[in-house]
């Protein structure tokens, strides 16, 4: 029985994906996650064959989360689900190992096609976007950034993500329920593995793989 993890921070959208996935694939075991932290916990504790991953949920810095998950679980097939339909973003995701890319504007038929194609070992991109994506040259810097991020463990990535959110070591220790010295040890290893000298440079590696979320751009414009 294939297993699917739906990773998105919007409950209604997760529910819609859940129903559509059940209709598309018989005997599909489905679980859900609402943050990258819960995604990392899920892939550590259970067997996941396929994931629908939102690029912009809590703890996930654009493509950095994809790179980290791919490093921790190379055999896991990941379909990116995003409001971003820019061909260069899709190309970056595919180059970093995504098995498919599903715009949030897609209909039920596209979702079902994506799930079935990826479970059959194929790569899936919406028909209308395939030619524009094919014309985009690879982003050469991604490979280096992904390689550095992929050297981190799940715990180290969590610490780095919290640092990027502005938390101090003591706050991170409280959030994760660990000793302060454990966080300091993680930071030392993080900087060594990323080849950087300080926290600011470590955060920059993470942010350079970040992406702007079009949905949040629209929300910000409406609030202005």
Higher pLDDT, 68 or 30: 30
| Domain assignment of residue 185, yes or no | yes
Q: Residue 165: phi, psi to the nearest 5?
A: -80, -5
Residue-wise pLDDT tens digits, 34-53: 998 899 889 988 889 999 99
Integer Cα distance of 116 and 25 in angstroms: 7
Do 167 and 129 share a structural domain?
no
pLDDT of residue 51: 96
Q: Are residues 90 and 33 in the same domain?
A: yes
* In-domain check, residue 218: no
Q: What is the pLDDT of residues 86-132, one digit of tens each?
A: 898 898 899 888 999 999 888 888 998 999 999 999 999 988 889 99
91 vs 9: CA distance, rounded Å: 24
Which one of 116-120, 140-144, 213-217 scores highest in mean pLDDT? Answer: 116-120
Sheet holding 3-7, edge to edge: 29-33, 3-7, 50-54, 77-82, 100-103
Residue 61 within a domain: yes
Query: What is the number of other CB atoms lying within 10 angstroms of the CB of residue 17?
Result: 24
In a domain, 219, yes or no: no
Quick one: which of 135, 111, 23, 5 has its CA closest to 65? 5
pLDDT at res. 211: 57
Half-sphere exposure of 43 (CA within 13 A, CB side): 29
Are 102 and 145 within one domain?
no
Cβ(177)–Cβ(167) below 8 Å: no
> Would the pTM count as exceeding 0.75?
yes
Q: How far apart are CA 36 and CA 27, in angstroms?
A: 26
Domain extent, residue 167, equals: 140-207
Query: Which CATH number is 8's domain given?
Result: 3.40.50.2300
Q: Does 85 lie in the same domain as 22?
A: yes
Residue 56's pLDDT band, with cuts at 50, 70 and 90, is: confident
Q: Both 77 and 123 in a single domain? A: yes
Please tell me which residue, 143 or 160, carries the higher pLDDT value.
160
Cα gap 64→144, rounded to integer Å:
12
Q: Of 152, 131, 21, whose CA–CA distance to 87 is shortest?
A: 131
**pLDDT of res. 212:** 47
Cα 219 to Cα 224: distance, rounded to the nearest angstrom: 9
Task: Return d(Cα 111, Cα 184) in angstroms, integer.
Answer: 43
Give the C-alpha separation, 71 to 154, whole Å.
10
How deeply is 86 buried, as exposed, middle or buried, from its count of CB atoms within 10 A (0-12, 13-18, 19+)?
Answer: middle
One domain for residues 85 and 60: yes
The residue among 40 and 222 whose pLDDT is bigger is: 40
Residue 68 lies in a domain: yes
Domain-located, residue 212: no
CATH of the domain at 197: 1.10.10.10
In a domain, 217, yes or no: no
Give yes or no: residues 72 and 126 share one domain.
yes
Q: Are residues 115 and 11 in the same domain?
A: yes
Among 114, 134, 154, give the residue marking a domain's end: 134
Number of domains in the chain: 2
Instruction: Using a pLDDT cut of 70, give the percent of the chain over it.
Output: 93
């Amino acid at each position: 029985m294939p297993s699917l993890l739906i990773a998105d921070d919007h409950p209604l959208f997760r529910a819609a994906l859940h129903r559509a996935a059940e209709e598309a694939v018989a005997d599909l075991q489905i679980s859900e996650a609402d943050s990258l932290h819960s995604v990392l916990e899920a892939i550590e504790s259970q067997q996941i064959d396929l994931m629908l991953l939102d690029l912009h949920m809590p703890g996930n810095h654009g493509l950095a989360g994809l790179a980290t998950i791919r490093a921790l679980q190379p055999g896991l097939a990941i379909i990116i689900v995003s409001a971003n339909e820019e061909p260069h973003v899709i190309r970056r995701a595919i180059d970093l190992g995504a098995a498919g890319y599903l715009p949030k504007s897609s209909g039920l038929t596209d979702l079902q096609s994506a799930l079935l194609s990826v479970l059959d070992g194929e790569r899936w991109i919406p028909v209308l976007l395939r030619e524009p994506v094919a014309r985009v040259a690879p982003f050469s810097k991604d490979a280096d950034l992904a390689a550095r991020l992929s050297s981190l463990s799940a715990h180290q990535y969590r610490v780095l993500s919290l640092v990027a959110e502005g938390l101090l070591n003591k706050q991170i220790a409280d959030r994760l329920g660990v000793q302060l010295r454990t966080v300091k040890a993680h930071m030392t290893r993080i900087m060594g593995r990323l080849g950087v000298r300080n926290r600011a440079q470590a955060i920059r590696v993470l942010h350079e793989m970040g992406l702007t979320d079009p949905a949040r751009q629209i929300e910000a414009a409406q609030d202005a």
